[in-house]
Structure 1
Amino acid sequence: MDSLSRRQKSKVRRMISEAHVSESEAIRLLKANNWNHAKALQESQSSTSSIIPKPPVTPQYSKLDDLFDQYKNKETGKIDPMGIQSFFRDIDVDIMDILSLIVCWKINARSLAEIPRDVFVQGWKNLGCDSIDSMKKQMPAFRKSIENEQNFEKFYQFLFDFAKENPDYRFLKVPEASALWSVILQSRFDLLDDWLEFLEKNPKLTITKDAWNLLLDFSKTVSKDLSNYDETAAWPSIIDDFVEYVQEKQKK
C-alpha cells in the first residue's frame, strides 16, 4: 500500500472496515471502480450476496395435518388399517416389506391397526418431512439405518410392544411373533426356519419380552450346529426347549 496516496490509503482502510475484505481485495475493488468508494462497496456487497447459499426450505408442518386428514377414518379420527395401506402405497412402501415396520419405528407408531394424529404429525415433524415426496426420499436411508447393529437392536426391541394384540399384555402370541421374525430375522438367524417350525409345532407357547430380546442374542452368538451353546447359561426355557428340538432333528 506504500505506492498509494494518503487519500487512497484512507479509502482502502474504509473499504476493509465496511466491506470486511482483505487489503488486497479492497485495493482491487477500488481500482476497478476508479477509486469510487460507493461503487466499490456496492460491487463488494453484490459479489458477497451471490455466493451466500440460500437458506434451506423450511418444512411446512401444517401440511402434515392436511396429509393426516387424507388418510384418517372420519368416524374415529385416526388412520385405520385401510388408511395405513393407502399411505404406504403412496410412499411406495410394500406393507409386507420390513421397510413398513421401519417407518413405524421411525415415527414411533404403536400399532399397525391405527395411527393417531399426534403420532403421525409429530413423528414426521421430528424427521423433517412435510410431504409425500419428502417422505419417499427418506426411505433408502430408513432401510439402510438398520444395517447398523445398534439401530437394529433398538428397532427389534421396539417391535415387541408394537406387535402385541393388546397393549396390556406382557407377551406375544406365537402367530404374531412368528410373522415378525420371518421378516426381520431373514439372513440374520441361521436357524430361523427351525425356530419357526418349532413354534408352529408349539402354537400355545407365549413369547415374553425377555424371550423376545434374548432370541436376538442367541441368533448372533450361537452357531448353526449349536456347538457353542452353553447349557448353563441363563437362556429362557423356550430357547432351551428349541435347542433340544434341533439337536433331536440333527440326530436323525
Structure 2
Amino acid sequence: MPPATASQKQSIAQFVALTDCTDSVASKFLRAAHWNIDRAIDSYFSSRSSSNAEDKSSAALKKIFNQYRDESNEEAAVISIEGAMRFLEDINVQLDEVTCLGVMELCKCPTMGEFPRESFVAGWKEAKCDTLPKMAEYANQLRSRIPTDKDLFRRVYCHTFPISRMAGQRNLPYDLAAEQWRLLFTADRGGVPWSTASTPWLEWWLEFLEERGKKAVSKDLWQQLELFVRKTKEDESFGWWSVDAAWPGTLDDFVGWVQEKRAQGSAMEL
C-alpha cells in the first residue's frame, strides 16, 4: 500500500479529530470511501451503530440463556434438559413436535435437550431474535415452514440423527429411529407425511425393518432415506429407480420388498 500523500494525511487528521479513532482506522475508512471524508465518516458511524446493536443483542441473548442454564454449576455454559424444557415451554414449543427439532437445529444442539451458550446465542442472533416473544414468533414460523421448505426440513431431519444417538454410539438404535421417523414423516406433529395414493410408505418401511430384525440405523441410511422419501412422493412407481444408483443396500432391498408386496396384493385381487 503506497504511503499517504500530504492531502490524504490532512484528511486522516481531520477524520481522527471528528471521530476520536486511531490513524489506522481513519485510513481504512477513507481508503474504502476513496478519500471522500463525508462518506467515510458516515460509514464509520454506521458500522459503530451496527456493532453496538449487535453487542446489545448478544447481551440480551446471554441474559436469556442465564435464565435457563444449569443452576447446579455457576460456571455452566449449557442449558441442560430441565432448563431446556422450561425454555421450550416459554416459547410455546412442545417436546413432541417437529418444531422442537427445528429449534435444536437452529441452536446446533449437540444432544437432545442440551443448548450450549455459544451456539444458542449465535443461532438466535442469526434469526434476529433477542427476546422470548420474538423467539416464540420465530418458532411459530418454523412450524409453518418445516413441512413446506425442503431445504429447511432436510437440515432439521439430518440434525435429528446426531442428537438422538446415545453418547459414544455411531448408529441409532432402531426403536429411537422409528420414533423419530413417526414424528418427522407424519403431518400430525408438523412433519412431512410419507404416503402416496396407493402406498402407506412409512408403515411399510417400519414393517420391512422390523422383519429384518430392527437393526441399528447408520448415518448414511438415515440421510439417504430423506432423499428416497422425496423420490417416492414424486413417483411411487419407482420410475426413477436404478440398481446402479448409489443407494444404501437396505433401500435396494426395500424396493424389492415393496415390489413383491404389491405383486402379492395384485394376485390376491385376481
The aligned counterpart of 1:33 is none
Separation in 2, partners of 1:203, 1:117: 40
CA contact (8 A) 2:105 2:155 kept: no
Separation in 2, partners of 1:115, 1:124: 12
Asked if 1:192 corresponds to 2:202, the answer is yes
CA-CA distance at 1:204 after TM superposition: 4.1
Residues 35-114 of structure 1 aligned to structure 2 (within 5 Å): 58=53, 60-76=57-73, 77=76, 78-114=78-114
SS at match of 1:172: coil
Which letter does structure 2 place at the counterpart of 1:221?
K
Asked if 1:245 corresponds to 2:246, the answer is no
The aligned counterpart of 2:126 is 126
Separation in 2, partners of 1:205, 1:62: 46
Asked if 1:221 corresponds to 2:231, the answer is yes
Which structure 1 residue ranges, 5 or more long, are not aligned? 1-54
Q: What do the CA deviations read for 1:185-223 (whole angstroms, capped 9, x no partner)?
A: 224422111112223444541222221122122112234
CA contact (8 A) 1:84 1:112 kept: no
SS at match of 2:114: coil
CA contact (8 A) 2:109 2:119 kept: yes
TM-score in terms of structure 2 length: 0.63
CA-CA distance at 1:145 after TM superposition: 3.4
Which structure 2 residue ranges, 5 or more long, are not aligned? 1-48, 187-191, 196-200, 266-270
Q: What do the CA deviations read for 1:25-79 (whole angstroms, capped 9, x no partner)?
A: xxxxxxxxxxxxxxxxxxxxxxxxxxxxxx9995543232222222222225232
SS at match of 2:103: helix
CA contact (8 A) 2:91 2:136 kept: yes
The aligned counterpart of 2:166 is 165
Q: Taking structure 1 as reference, are residues 203 and 61 closer, same or farther at Cα in structure 2, changes over 3 Å only?
A: farther
CA-CA distance at 1:226 after TM superposition: 4.5
Determine what percentage of the aligned residue pairs are the same residue: 29
The aligned counterpart of 1:150 is 151
Which letter does structure 2 place at the counterpart of 1:114?
E
How many residues end up aligned between the 2 structures? 197
The aligned counterpart of 1:135 is 135
Q: Taking structure 1 as reference, are residues 137 and 205 closer, same or farther at Cα in structure 2, changes over 3 Å only?
A: same
Separation in 2, partners of 1:92, 1:153: 23
Separation in 2, partners of 1:136, 1:208: 34
The aligned counterpart of 2:245 is 233
CA contact (8 A) 2:107 2:123 kept: yes
CA contact (8 A) 2:85 2:113 kept: no
Q: Taking structure 1 as reference, are residues 118 and 235 closer, same or farther at Cα in structure 2, changes over 3 Å only?
A: same
Separation in 1, partners of 2:121, 2:58: 8
Greater radius of gyration (CA): 1
